[in-house]
Structure 1
Amino acid sequence: MNVALFIAKRYFFTKKKRNIINIISIIAMIGVGVGTMALIVVLSVFNGLEDLIRSLYGKFDPEIKITSVEGKSFETDAAFLERIKKTPGVVLLTEVIEDNALLRYNDRQMVVKVKGVSDNYYKQNQIDSAIVDGDRLLKRGGQQYALIGRGVQYQLSIRPENPFSPLQFMYPKAGKKVTLNPENAFRQLGIQAGGVFAIERQYDDQYVFVPLDFAQELLGYENKRTSLEVKADTPGNIDKIKNALQEKLGPGFLVQNSEEQHVSLLRAVKVEKLFVFVTFTFVLLIASINIFFSLSMLVLDKQKDIAILASLGADPGTIRKIFLLEGAIVAFTGAVAGLVIGGTICWVQQTFGIVSMGMTTSVVEAYPVLMRVEDFLFTAAAIIVITLLVSIRPARKASSLSIRENL
């Protein structure tokens, strides 16, 4: 039998009338439990937000994106594209032309981002799952269509597939001087609005998808492309393909995976999560100070018991262990309760979505929550360290008590 653990449990689960030491211990246990619960819930919310960002941008962004280091476009030809397609692991290559243009619809106009994509674009990503109105196809029955963001639709009051009001795009002609009629300095092309997508406001308020040849004619890019989007054979092979493409294309091109395309945003979420973890760890430390006070008072209250144990042959290490285990019992009881309650709250939110985002235009109705094992492990590790820090001094004081003075 572990004598130190047995005595520590007897001190904690005493059947005697509750005194101030027991009350302080209970307060410390509740404080640790509440802090642990809050930490698990907040970390899970940050995980959910990070996962939501990845899923939203995953509908729009490719697995691997190739752009030019200098300038917004680069020359391409059949041989250049074939080199990329023959890279091991590349299963799909989509050509992209993207630039700003003026969009007119009836008596309204706005500047939008025109993104011309080749016919295999929908095999590249999941944007077709974000269609909220009309059809996703950019070519149907020999006719070209545009896919517009919901924000663009709202601002211009666009009715998809309205044959009487096509979208009118205008783009400046290269080297064209302004004349008495400014419209002569612009290329103008019309196209029918065929569908509406809703991904995220950043995209919904400015993007319009069109066929690649339409964008090529409107923007005058000819054989130039602003980016190439690559799909890998398996998700686990993305980084390997990215490195192979970077080596093959050289320093004049930038090859990025999906996370690197939004590295600033994802890094900001991770930094915020780290600061939250540190902040709540300090909250747990403050809550655990009650453990220090309760152990210190317990040492004073049990001086005679300590002296008797020492006289019976208990060494200082055993006495220290008693009070370290007493602090551990208080902290871990609260921590386990906090972990269970926090995990339950996250599961309920994840399953039933009780707490809503409070915004009618939100892409998700409820706060996203995602529990990760590492959060529970790091929280448990933080509690272990904190418990040792606040329990060491009272335990040492107990082991150094004089037998003669306390018997």
Structure 2
Amino acid sequence: MNVSYLIAKRYFSSKNKRNIISIIANISMVGVAVGTLALIIVLSVFNGLEDLVRSAYSRFDPHLKVVAVKGKSFETTPALLQKIKSLAGVAQLTEVIEDNALLRYDDRQMVVKIKGASANYYVHNHLDSAMVDGRFELERNGGGYAVVGEGVQRQLQVNIANRFAPLLLLYPKNKKKISLDPTEAFNDGRIMPGGVFRLERQYDDQYIFVPLAFAENLMGYGARRTSLEIQVKDDGEDVKSVQRAMRRVLGPEFKVLNSDEQHVALLRAVKIEKAFVFVTFTFILLIASLNIFFSLSMLVIDKKKDVAILLSMGAEPNTIRNIFLAEGTIVAFTGALTGLIIGVGVCLAQKEFGLVSMGTLGNGLSQPYPVKMLWQDIALTVVAIIVITITVSIRPAQQASSIQIRDNL
């Protein structure tokens, strides 16, 4: 075994634990342990939140979404639709018209986001499981129905059981002339409410689903669509490979977005916050590790005679330096390993038992804080500790290696 490590281990496990050097070393270990513990837990929580964001949108968003590079809509043709449908891995194509409109119900009104979708929309989105009232059917018995978010239903007090109170939707006409008559400024359409869904508050408070033909007539879009939503087959087809193939086929006029790219700003914000948290807690680890610097500096002073004896016995200055580097490493890694074990244990307990809750959801159920441990985070934490340990240990170690024999014997 390495002589430097053996001597460093002897200093670390010395029975004389009541001196100030040992106390500072123990404080260093506790500080590193707490910093490592906090870093592992917080990074795991951010990973869990990232997954929670993805799962919250997964039932609403398609695997791939085709939008125009310029403008908010584009012209569709049978040839374009067939070109997409013929690609390997494409299971379903849904035409979508999505825009803001004014919704009135009785004497109440609000601005909503209309999503007109072709009849096959619900097949892969499984929105039937998100229904709290009625059914997710945009067309039934030859008639069109609207499915509204729970927040919209609550604000307008929509009663889907009332067959004599349709929803009135108003959309501004695309006219250059300004009319003083309000009826000339808006297209209007009436449709019966057929159901209420609860997915995620962002959608529940503003979305209303209608048949594609209804949205087309209300907004005067004709063959234009705001997006095409693509579902990939469930037989193991790679979404990325289908995305690449679709980009080649459609050319530069269209953007093909996967699920993450559809919410790139939100996910980027989560990643930026995670990066800031990592930097902050790494700085806290650095501050905690300064105690290692002080304890090693004091240890060098305390062990000057031992160092002089080792040098007189033929030890190289590098050996002396390595002793104190090893001492700093032992202190840091003992604390880090302790913090790592406790942090992993806390994350596993949270994942299994939901010890800490985010609060009560709209359905009355408690949502535990999501956690997800990644080996990359653990590896990054270990690398940060190694860099910090070497940084704070190298100066005292160099001082020890420069001790003169004649001055200390």
Common fold, TM-score beyond 0.5? yes
SS of residue paired to 1:314: coil
Shift of 1:173: 4.1
Please tell me whether the aligned partners of residues 359 and 366 of structure 2 are also in contact (alpha carbons under 8 angstroms).
no
Alpha-carbon spacing, 1:180–1:28, altered in 2? closer, same or farther (3 Å): closer
Please report the TM-score for the alignment, with normalisation by the length of structure 1.
0.93
Structure 1 window deviating more from structure 2 (319-328 vs 116-125): it is: 116-125
SS of residue paired to 1:183: helix
Could you tell me which amino acid in structure 1 is paired with residue 309 of structure 2?
Answer: I
How far apart, CA to CA, are the structure 2 residues paired with 1:369 and 1:31?
23
Superposition map of 1:70-149 within 5 A: 70-149=70-149
Alignment pair present for 1:11 and 2:30: no
Shift of 1:334: 0.6
Shift of 1:236: 6.2
Shift of 1:142: 3.6
1:143-175 deviations in whole A, cap 9, x for unaligned?
Answer: 432111111111101123432322222233444
Which residue number in structure 2 is paired with residue 55 of structure 1?
55
Structure 1 window deviating more from structure 2 (235-244 vs 147-156): it is: 235-244
Please tell me whether the aligned partners of residues 94 and 124 of structure 1 are also in contact (alpha carbons under 8 angstroms).
no
How far apart, CA to CA, are the structure 1 residues paired with 2:38 and 2:76?
54
1:107-150 deviations in whole A, cap 9, x for unaligned?
Answer: 21112111111122123434444333332222334443211111
Quote the RMSD (CA, aligned, Å). Answer: 2.2
Which residue number in structure 2 is paired with residue 354 of structure 1?
355
Identity, % of aligned positions: 61
Please tell me whether the aligned partners of residues 17 and 23 of structure 2 are also in contact (alpha carbons under 8 angstroms).
no
Superposition map of 1:119-198 within 5 A: 119-175=119-175, 182-183=182-183, 185-198=185-198
Alpha-carbon spacing, 1:292–1:202, altered in 2? closer, same or farther (3 Å): same
Shift of 1:315: 1.9
Shift of 1:178: 6.9
Could you tell me which amino acid in structure 1 is paired with residue 367 of structure 2?
Answer: E
1:19-74 deviations in whole A, cap 9, x for unaligned?
Answer: 00000000000111111111111111111111111111222221111112222222
Shift of 1:324: 1.0
Which residue number in structure 2 is paired with residue 384 of structure 1?
386
Structure 2 unaligned regions, length at least 5: none
Alpha-carbon spacing, 1:236–1:13, altered in 2? closer, same or farther (3 Å): farther
Please tell me whether the aligned partners of residues 90 and 233 of structure 1 are also in contact (alpha carbons under 8 angstroms).
yes
Which residue number in structure 2 is paired with residue 268 of structure 1?
269
Which residue number in structure 2 is paired with residue 333 of structure 1?
334
Which residue number in structure 2 is paired with residue 277 of structure 1?
278
Which residue number in structure 1 is paired with residue 307 of structure 2?
306
Alignment pair present for 1:399 and 2:401: yes
How far apart, CA to CA, are the structure 1 residues paired with 2:373 and 2:293?
31
How far apart, CA to CA, are the structure 1 residues paired with 2:193 and 2:338?
56
Structure 1 window deviating more from structure 2 (384-393 vs 121-130): it is: 121-130
Could you tell me which amino acid in structure 1 is paired with residue 152 of structure 2?
Answer: V
Please report the TM-score for the alignment, with normalisation by the length of structure 2.
0.93
Please tell me whether the aligned partners of residues 4 and 326 of structure 2 are also in contact (alpha carbons under 8 angstroms).
yes
Alpha-carbon spacing, 1:364–1:176, altered in 2? closer, same or farther (3 Å): farther
How far apart, CA to CA, are the structure 2 residues paired with 1:334 and 1:312?
33
Shift of 1:377: 0.7
User: What is the count of residue pairs matched by the alignment?
Assistant: 407
Structure 1 window deviating more from structure 2 (181-190 vs 301-310): it is: 181-190
SS of residue paired to 1:401: coil
SS of residue paired to 1:136: coil
SS of residue paired to 1:62: coil
Structure 1 window deviating more from structure 2 (298-307 vs 172-181): it is: 172-181
How far apart, CA to CA, are the structure 2 residues paired with 1:193 and 1:105?
10
Which residue number in structure 1 is paired with residue 27 of structure 2?
27
Structure 1 window deviating more from structure 2 (215-224 vs 34-43): it is: 215-224
Shift of 1:105: 1.3
Q: 1:370 aligns with which of 372, 381, 395?
A: 372
Please tell me whether the aligned partners of residues 72 and 226 of structure 1 are also in contact (alpha carbons under 8 angstroms).
yes
Shift of 1:93: 0.7
Alpha-carbon spacing, 1:185–1:389, altered in 2? closer, same or farther (3 Å): closer
